[in-house]
Amino acid sequence: MKDKLLLIIARKGFQRLITIFQCLLVFSCFSPDASASSLSESIKQPDAGHVDSVAEIKTALEQMTKSVKEAIGEQRFTFKFQETVLKKSEEFIIKIADLRERSAQETDAFKQDEKDIFMMNQEILKQILALNKKTISDIQEKKLDRMDDPSAFFKSPEWQEPQHLIALSSYWLGWNGYYCSLLFAENDATRKTLLEEAIESFSRSFIDSGEDAIIINSLFGRGLCYKQMKFYASALKDFKTVKETLKKDDPLYWKCGYEETLIRYETGDLGEALNKINEMEKA
């Protein structure tokens, strides 16, 4: 009887948490399908705002894939060019996630188009990552030992620019992989691979980036991936770390609390789930 009562209380508390979280979303700019809190605020989506369908995004990505291939072949894949491509890639990830959230379509063809988009975007991001990792590797092997003042070189654009592109491409590879994984069945091997690669990408961007927003949101994204893979202890650790870096008025703080409560609820720790709800209500 006691267990049954706890279950009823926890279920009511779980529904109350959803209500609390929905209210928070109304009064904040944070989207649960965006990649960040402070980072998402800076995203204006100038080009993505002009595409209103999965088909248009797919066409735009096909064009971008062609442009990237031509730029690499013609040796004009410059830092600025890559920055622009990464910005477009970011916009497409956010736009397709938003369209998915608002769309009632769940046909196989619709899902396949989404998968194609994420896979195309993944290849572009991987090209940028591989190119810049090679650039750094070449510098380390051929230049670093011969420098009179390596510390000064580390501050130069020649070193900083590829490092920045590695961190940024890794970051968006993480989100691209996470969202793409949600389109596959739980027992699908591709889903597992995507999540593993996303975790690796978020871990790399967390280490390589010097930007607080990317570091914080890499941990949050990695936590989501761990949660999808049912590595609950690792997920809870990342969410806790993110919360410890944020103030309670940051929407991402509440999102982490929401995810923590979901994990407690899904793993049958109903008492702790209810405690989390009460904690969030009092905050």
For residue range 83-101, what is the model confidence (pLDDT) as tens digits? 999 999 999 999 988 887 7
Question: To which H or E segment does residue 83 belong?
Answer: helix 79-102
Amino acid at 238: D
**pLDDT value at position 15?**
56
Residue 110 pLDDT? 80
Contact 246, 220 (CB under 8 A): no
pTM of the model: 0.81
Q: Does the pLDDT of residue 256 top 70, yes or no?
A: yes
Asked whether residue 48 carries a pLDDT value surpassing 70, the answer given is no
| Chain center to CA of 261 | 20
> Domain for residue 14, yes or no?
no
Question: Which pLDDT belongs to residue 242?
Answer: 95
Q: Tokens 């090209």 label which residue? A: 127
* 270, part of any domain: no
Place of tokens 């992989």: 177
Q: What angle do CA 219, 220, 226 make, to 5 degrees?
A: 85
Domain of residue 47, residue span = 31-245
The whole-number pLDDT of residue 144 equals 79
Mean pLDDT, rounded, for 237-245: 95
Q: What is the pLDDT of residues 200-211, one digit of tens each?
A: 999 999 888 878
At residue 167, the pLDDT reads 94
Instruction: Determine the Cα angle at 233 with ends 230 and 236, to 5°.
Output: 100
> What is the Cα–Cα distance from 43 to 28, expressed in whole angstroms?
15
CA 186, 95, 68, 200 dihedral sign is: negative
* Tens digits of residue pLDDT in 134-181: 999 998 888 877 777 778 888 889 989 999 999 999 999 999 999 999
**To the nearest whole number, what is the mean pLDDT of the chain?**
82
272 located within any domain: no
Instruction: Report the percentage of the chain scoring pLDDT > 70.
Output: 79
Q: What's the pLDDT at 1?
A: 43
* Within-domain flag for 255: no
Reported as half-sphere exposure (CB side, CA atoms, 13 A), residue 130 has a value of: 7
- Is residue 2 one of the residues assigned to a domain? no
Asked if residue 18 has pLDDT above 60, the reply is no
pLDDT above 50 (res 9): no
Query: Is 9 domain-assigned?
Result: no
Whole-angstrom distance, CA of residue 238 vs CA of residue 245: 11
CA distance 278 to 283: 9
Q: What is the pLDDT of residue 160?
A: 93
Answer with the residue of higher pLDDT: 223 or 17: 223
The answer to the question of residue 13 being in a domain is no
Cα(35)–Cα(101) distance, integer angstroms: 14
Following DSSP, what letter does each residue of 219-267 receive, concatenated? HHHHHHHHHHTT-HHHHHHHHHHHHHHS-TTSHHHHHHHHHHHHHHHHT
Total tally of structural domains belonging to the chain = 1
Amino acid at position 143, single letter = K
Residue 4 domain-assigned (yes or no): no
The pLDDT score that the predictor gives to residue 93 is: 92
pLDDT above 90 for 61: yes
